[in-house]
Every structure is written in C-alpha cells, then in structure tokens.
C-alpha cells in the first residue's frame, strides 16, 4: 500500500467516525443545556457559559413517572418479543436449512414479502382488531406484531448460520439411534447458539426501535414503549419542545443500544451481512 493510499484510508476512517459520532455527541451535549437556556434560545453545539444544566435534565427524566414506565414497557416488551421470536425462528430456520419439505420456497418468499411490508398499512385494521379482542394498549398487543416483523430477519440470519454448521455430527447422532428431534436438540442447538444469539440482538434492536406500532396500538402508559413516549413528551407545540429534557431522555433510551453494540459488534456485523448478502 502506497503512502498516499494510507493517508486516504486514515482520512476516510476519521470521516466515518465523525459521521457516526457527531450527532451522538450533539444529543449528549444538548442534554446538558438547561431548560431555561432552551426556552430563551441557546444556539451552538456546546452549552454556552451559564447555560449548562449539569445532570438536572437526567434527574428530571428519571424522576418522570411516565418515562420510567415507558422504559420498563420497552424492556419488557422487547425482551419477551425477542425470546419468542427467536425460538420460533430457530425452528423454522432449521427446517429451511436442513429438511426437504414442500413449500420451503413459499416460506422464504413470505418472509421476504413481510420484511418489506409497509407496516403503516396494517395499523388501521390491527387497531380495529386489537380493540375488538381486547388486547389494544397491552403488552401482548405489541409483542405479537413485533414477533411477526422480526421473524423474517431472524429466519434469514439463522438459516444462513445453520448452513455453515457441520451437519455430519447430526447424522452421526442419528446413526447412533437419535431421532431427528433428538439430533436437533442435543447436537445442533449448542452449535447454533452463537447464530441464535446474533438473531436475538437484531430482533431486540427492531423491537426497541419500533415507532409505528408503538404509537398506534397504545393509548396510555400501560404499554407505551419508549420511542412513542419520547414523541409524546412534547407538549402541545411541536416547534417549541423541551429540547434538552428530550435529549436526556433520548440518551437514556440509547444507552442499552450502545452497550449491546460495544459488547457484540462482531456478532452484529456478521448477522447483518450473512442474512442479506451471502448464503
């Protein structure tokens, strides 16, 4: 590699870091501006002298009953949806990667169609249906659509992982007298665990990020997840928001994502790319 190329790569790397981190730094910086300063107008990237709020915005956010409730809802709903979705996707992905059965193509096509489905076109009928069967504004009412919409991604990611597993071991177990089901449970599940874990992370991201279902299928803090709660944090005038308070809330809502990314970046990249690009 020539010196010129090296310099280009270094510049490129710095640009990527700036691209990715500037808005994050901005929202953190904003969360330290005082609410007084926001109301009066406090332009600039960093809080001006005397406009700083210390941790006050964070204290206010954490003490906000609705915000705490929304965080609790989001964690609960996302974890349950992730768990169930990954279990169901694992079964389906195993069948797709390993078994010959009629309609395999159909399952993959269906998953593809659903991954691209315009979710907003569903909120009307779902709103109506959920109210009719009494799960409107409940955790279950969000868990079901989250599962449905994370299944395609989970199925793709998992079936891609499953194809790489040394399946002779499964056959060996079957030769030793294990049934298909036993071979699946005792031999393959432990081997597949890393892939399953990756699918779980991506599923969790989806559920944590969802906004459309979160605002349309809830009406109170009973089930309202964090993105919806943030958007309702606003007050009447959308052009005069308590920006710094919201920024503090946004930072708190982003912490779980950053922790997951820091711990598992390798797995996430593998999962994202294996599911979509290569077989």
Partner 1 sequence: MSTTVAPDDKRDVRRAERAAASDRSKAENALGLKLVAPAIVLMLIVTAFPMLRALYLSLFDYSLTAPDDRNFRGLGNYVTALSDPLFWQTTANTVLIMVVTVAVELVVGFAFAMVMHRVIFARGIVRTSILIPYGIITVVSGFAWQFAFSYKNGFVNYWLPFIEDNFDWFGQYSSAMAAIMVSEIWKTTPFMSLLLLAGLAQVSEDMIEAAQVDGATWWQRLWKVILPNMRSAIMVAVLFRALDAYRIFDNIFVMTAGAEGTESISFLTYRQVIEQFQLGLGSALSVLLFLSVLLVAFLIVKVFRVDLAAARQES
Residues in 2-61 at the binding interface with partner 1, rule: CB under 8 A = 5-6, 9-10, 12-13, 15-17, 19-21, 23-24, 26-27, 30, 33, 38, 41-45
Kindly state whether residue 227 participates in binding partner 1, applying the rule CB under 8 A. Answer: yes
Mask for 159-198, x = binds partner 1 (CB under 8 A): -x-------------------xx-----------------
Nearest distance, CB of residue 166 and partner 1, angstroms: 18
Integer CA distances (angstroms), 240 to 62, 212, 243, in order:
22, 23, 8
Binds partner 1 by CB under 8 A, chosen from 116, 133, 177, 220: 116
Helix (H, G, I), strand (E, B) or coil at 147: helix
* Residues in CB range of 78: below 8 A, 6 or more apart: 146, 204, 207, 208, 225
Comparing CB distances to partner 1, the nearer of 54 and 262 is 262
Kindly state whether residue 78 participates in binding partner 1, applying the rule CB under 8 A. Answer: no
Q: Dihedral of CA 218/219/225/231: which sign? A: positive
Comparing CB distances to partner 1, the nearer of 21 and 169 is 21
Binds partner 1 by CB under 8 A, chosen from 71, 144, 188, 200: 144
Binds partner 1 by CB under 8 A, chosen from 119, 140, 178, 191: 119
Number of residues this chain uses to bind partner 1 (CB under 8 A): 105
Kindly state whether residue 148 participates in binding partner 1, applying the rule CB under 8 A. Answer: yes
Interface of this chain with partner 1, residues 85 to 114, rule: CB under 8 A: 88-89, 91-92, 94-96, 99-104, 107-108, 110-112, 114
- Please state, as a whole number, how many other Cβ atoms lie within 10 Å of the Cβ of residue 238: 8
> How many distinct helices (H) and strands (E) make up the chain?
13, 0
Q: For residues 252 and 246, give the distance between their C-alpha atoms in angstroms, rounded to a whole number.
A: 10
Helix (H, G, I), strand (E, B) or coil at 198: helix
Q: Whose CA is closest to 192, among 275, 90, 116, 101?
A: 90
């Amino acid at each position: 590699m020539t010196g010129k190329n090296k310099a280009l790569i270094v510049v490129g790397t710095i640009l990527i870091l700036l691209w990715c981190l500037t808005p994050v730094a901005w929202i953190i910086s904003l969360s330290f501006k005082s609410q007084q300063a926001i109301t009066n107008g406090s332009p600039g990237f960093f809080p001006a002298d005397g406009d700083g709020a210390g941790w006050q915005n964070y204290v206010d956010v954490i003490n906000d009953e609705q915000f705490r409730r929304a965080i609790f809802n989001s964690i609960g709903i996302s974890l349950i949806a992730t768990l169930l979705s990954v279990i169901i996707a694992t079964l389906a992905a195993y069948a797709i990667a390993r078994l010959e059965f009629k309609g395999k193509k159909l399952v993959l096509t269906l998953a593809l169609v659903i991954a691209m489905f315009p979710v907003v076109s569903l909120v009307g009928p779902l709103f109506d249906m959920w109210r009719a069967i009494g799960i409107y504004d409940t955790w279950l009412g969000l868990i079901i659509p989250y599962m449905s919409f994370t299944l395609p991604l989970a199925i793709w990611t998992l079936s891609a992982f499953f194809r790489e597993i040394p399946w002779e071991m499964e056959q060996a177990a079957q030769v030793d007298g294990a049934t298909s089901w036993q071979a699946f449970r005792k031999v393959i599940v432990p081997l597949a665990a890393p892939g399953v874990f990756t699918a779980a992370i991506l599923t969790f991201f989806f559920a944590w990020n969802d906004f459309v279902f979160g605002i349309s299928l809830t009406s109170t803090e009973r089930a309202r997840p964090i993105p919806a709660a943030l958007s309702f944090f606003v007050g009447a005038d959308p052009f005069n928001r308590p920006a710094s308070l919201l920024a503090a809330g946004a930072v708190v809502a982003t912490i779980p994502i950053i922790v997951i990314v820091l711990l598992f970046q390798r797995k996430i990249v593998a999962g994202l790319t294996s599911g979509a690009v290569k077989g």
